[in-house]
Structure 1
């Protein structure tokens, strides 16, 4: 291998192998992370043979489909073999980007029939995820399916069964679960840095029209250019509506709203960090505060979930929040609250602040003791002083922790690298069908709770509604 090629691969590994920089970024880094990065470096310094190449198809070439493909092609040995989308303008865009010879189609089954495609990215409207995933697995393709893995809870067991029957790799696209930031948070929580966990507050706010899904609709949009009849094959019959095609997240007939778009990220991250299988009770509420544009999914939504005491974690309560007209300007944070401190996860950056109660119980100050007789106050003060030392009365001090991911780190690239590594080596993916369903079901239950105005009970172990 030439020095130029070797340097190129090392530059690539500084992007995907930022796990190798974890030790530099924090003295608390695990040796396993460094070993994994070194193993990956050896793997990618080999010349990519024909057998190692992965031919990729994309089904759904909208915003996320573009970003997913752009990231996937950064992984060595991955080649584009075809793109499917219902809107003709996106197929034209695909040929403009990748050449006139690129295979394009409006029928995803034609793409799945191609023998030279090894894996597919499914970045379609939510209502199509399960059907295309099952069809792709049946055709022997590895699948990277955008979140949520399913549109309906009832679809989850079918997708899990299809993956197991096919033996092919299936990874769900909540890329944060592959991040070094969440890996570090998981490590710190397990080490007891914030004591015993009791609450998680998770927020994903936005404040922009694009953030609220008011995407630009092309001037030539109509029932013919979007293949509307095919689009609604898996839904109820509906008259053509350009908003439902291009702003689909905002409509329950085809999308899953803030729960399927953003709650799912917060749930995936929380489950990864805590090793949780999911909550047992779910309640949510929402409102239409600002984006009154015909949508039928709320633009402000909150959820409360209760997690039971399990071998993986103590009992804790999770609160979820999405606000599409947030005066904060937008924020994404998961805050883990424990008996000895709080851990805040901002993207891939982590801050831990400690607050530890003293061993001695409180006495005096804002306390009822001053309301007693002077004789009683003096007697009880004397007893307290004799029982508890000055050290026992003070709050123990513990050094705070800050972790910052290396500049330029990209968890999206790490997530795709894990996906392609799994195809090549047989190693398990970070977010398989079971993990994906255990995150999707509570998120979708928030919609059920909102519309039905009731508490939803979920069995996280057996993955079914109660």
Structure 2
């Protein structure tokens, strides 16, 4: 009964955030006679009890996507946009009206009384300063991942959120994913036995995926406000690549670790309830995109997670390949003692492989190397001890779960954020969760450059 009660409580919790999978009870999954494909039922109602006016700081690629998604949530209105490139401010007025408030100084936007919340989608090096300034100005904050540019900045943001008491949500949308919620439930239900390994990959196969974004014809130190841009960095000579391809440069961005490892970590931590790893190792190379960048285009990470109240010990491997013959993939594979949950975007597949109760005997075994009389004697003893059923592997068919067509975890993430702003409910990804995903990701960079294993305390959230 306690297992049933626990499952009911979990489903109620999921329903409270708008994600409810009304499926056959898990106790019946093992009894399925053939593989099935099921659609995850989705019944979210979007309400707008109060108007929320948002400002955007950083109107680049992600800033455009974030704003467009945020405005799909009922009751959300745009109040202003800040960007350092004049062309993007012109683009903002073309998209949202010539009377839209625009500025190149984010502090002016924070000073406006008609703005309730801000979306911060800037270069990584500005994240911490802008987030703390926004909280101090009384604004709710949606800060893009990674939450911080340096590990040393994390505790400051956590403290600022507590001090000012404003809503802060980190923008790793997989934490609001319907599919990941189902993976979380399946893992907790023991569908794949005891977890021991997670393999996570986020590959790409395009120049745009490798951050080679188009640079505007009018790019100059004046049109990009270069002096203001480098106020958060070591002094640098003007270079439009560093402004528009900033993820590729360690002086400004955090490379594949901050861009993509953090997605894989936030998803893994959500599914497993993990607080993080204890040891971290990162390695990388410059394989294809030798375009002046100083952050690798192929990178791997290995992390060891300790045995904890939340989960058994497991190993996590991370992979990003920016010239991948796969055509690009985005997968988290949770490997257990009895099967695998493979999460692909918002969909997942469960496959099983269950060892027989009886130990291995015969076949590719040392038995046949013994004298014939001993082989016969030992075989007779084995058959007397173990029944035919105990010697067979148990079968459980594959099951595929799919999110409904048109489902968006990005929209759900913003809906959850604005619901927290309106009702004061806890966010789905607070500063502590965001830091616990960002810090091990950034530690992969530290390991890569130092060629050392990094040790991390996941409870105290500090380097050891």
* Residue aligning to 2:101: 103
* Residue aligning to 1:8: none
* Residue aligning to 2:75: 77
Q: Deviations over 1:161-205 (max 9, x none)?
A: 000011100000000110100000000000000000000000000
Q: Structure 1 CA distance, aligned partners of 2:399 and 2:84?
A: 49
Helix, strand or coil at the partner of 2:166: coil
- Aligned match of 1:27 in 24, 49, 56? 24
Q: Structure 2 CA distance, aligned partners of 1:383 and 1:75?
A: 68
- Aligned match of 1:345 in 330, 343, 346? 343
* Residue aligning to 1:187: 185
Q: Structure 2 CA distance, aligned partners of 1:17 and 1:99?
A: 34
Helix, strand or coil at the partner of 2:332: strand
* Residue aligning to 2:4: none
CA gap 1:327/1:18 in 2 versus in 1, 3 angstroms: farther
Please tell me whether the aligned partners of residues 91 and 105 of structure 1 are also in contact (alpha carbons under 8 angstroms).
yes
Helix, strand or coil at the partner of 1:393: coil
Please tell me whether the aligned partners of residues 356 and 395 of structure 1 are also in contact (alpha carbons under 8 angstroms).
yes
Q: Structure 2 CA distance, aligned partners of 1:137 and 1:457?
A: 31
Q: Structure 2 CA distance, aligned partners of 1:72 and 1:424?
A: 14
Q: Structure 2 CA distance, aligned partners of 1:67 and 1:462?
A: 34
Helix, strand or coil at the partner of 1:19: coil
Q: Structure 2 CA distance, aligned partners of 1:369 and 1:418?
A: 60
Helix, strand or coil at the partner of 1:233: helix
Q: Structure 1 CA distance, aligned partners of 2:18 and 2:410?
A: 12
* Residue aligning to 1:393: 391
How far residue 242 of structure 1 moved from its aligned partner, in angstroms, is: 0.5
How far residue 399 of structure 1 moved from its aligned partner, in angstroms, is: 3.1
Helix, strand or coil at the partner of 1:74: coil
* Residue aligning to 2:442: 444
How far residue 83 of structure 1 moved from its aligned partner, in angstroms, is: 0.1
Q: Structure 2 CA distance, aligned partners of 1:171 and 1:193?
A: 31
TM-align CA RMSD: 1.5
* Residue aligning to 1:62: 60
Q: Deviations over 1:276-309 (max 9, x none)?
A: 0000000010000000000000000000000000
Correspondence 1:67-466 to 2 at 5 A: 67-466=65-464
Q: Structure 1 CA distance, aligned partners of 2:288 and 2:317?
A: 22
Q: Deviations over 1:379-409 (max 9, x none)?
A: 1111111111100000011232211000000
Q: Structure 1 CA distance, aligned partners of 2:99 and 2:216?
A: 25
Q: Structure 1 CA distance, aligned partners of 2:24 and 2:102?
A: 49
Please tell me whether the aligned partners of residues 42 and 404 of structure 2 are also in contact (alpha carbons under 8 angstroms).
no
Runs of 4+, deviation exceeding 4 Å: none
Helix, strand or coil at the partner of 1:311: coil
Helix, strand or coil at the partner of 2:389: helix
Aligned residues: 435
Q: Deviations over 1:67-93 (max 9, x none)?
A: 000000000100000000000000000
Q: Structure 2 CA distance, aligned partners of 1:299 and 1:93?
A: 31
* Residue aligning to 2:31: none
Please tell me whether the aligned partners of residues 17 and 37 of structure 1 are also in contact (alpha carbons under 8 angstroms).
no
Q: Structure 2 CA distance, aligned partners of 1:138 and 1:181?
A: 35
Q: Deviations over 1:419-442 (max 9, x none)?
A: 000001111111000000000000
Please tell me whether the aligned partners of residues 17 and 416 of structure 2 are also in contact (alpha carbons under 8 angstroms).
no
How far residue 37 of structure 1 moved from its aligned partner, in angstroms, is: 7.7
Helix, strand or coil at the partner of 1:319: strand
Q: Structure 2 CA distance, aligned partners of 1:268 and 1:276?
A: 9
How far residue 18 of structure 1 moved from its aligned partner, in angstroms, is: 7.1
How far residue 28 of structure 1 moved from its aligned partner, in angstroms, is: 4.8
Please tell me whether the aligned partners of residues 185 and 350 of structure 1 are also in contact (alpha carbons under 8 angstroms).
yes
Q: Structure 1 CA distance, aligned partners of 2:443 and 2:25?
A: 37
Helix, strand or coil at the partner of 1:255: coil
From the two aligned structures, give the one with the greater helix fraction: 1
Helix, strand or coil at the partner of 2:231: coil
Helix, strand or coil at the partner of 1:286: strand
Please tell me whether the aligned partners of residues 93 and 99 of structure 2 are also in contact (alpha carbons under 8 angstroms).
yes
Unpaired runs of 5+ residues, structure 1, are: 1-15, 30-35
Please tell me whether the aligned partners of residues 302 and 319 of structure 1 are also in contact (alpha carbons under 8 angstroms).
yes
Please tell me whether the aligned partners of residues 257 and 297 of structure 1 are also in contact (alpha carbons under 8 angstroms).
yes
Please tell me whether the aligned partners of residues 18 and 409 of structure 1 are also in contact (alpha carbons under 8 angstroms).
no
Unpaired runs of 5+ residues, structure 2, are: 1-15, 27-40
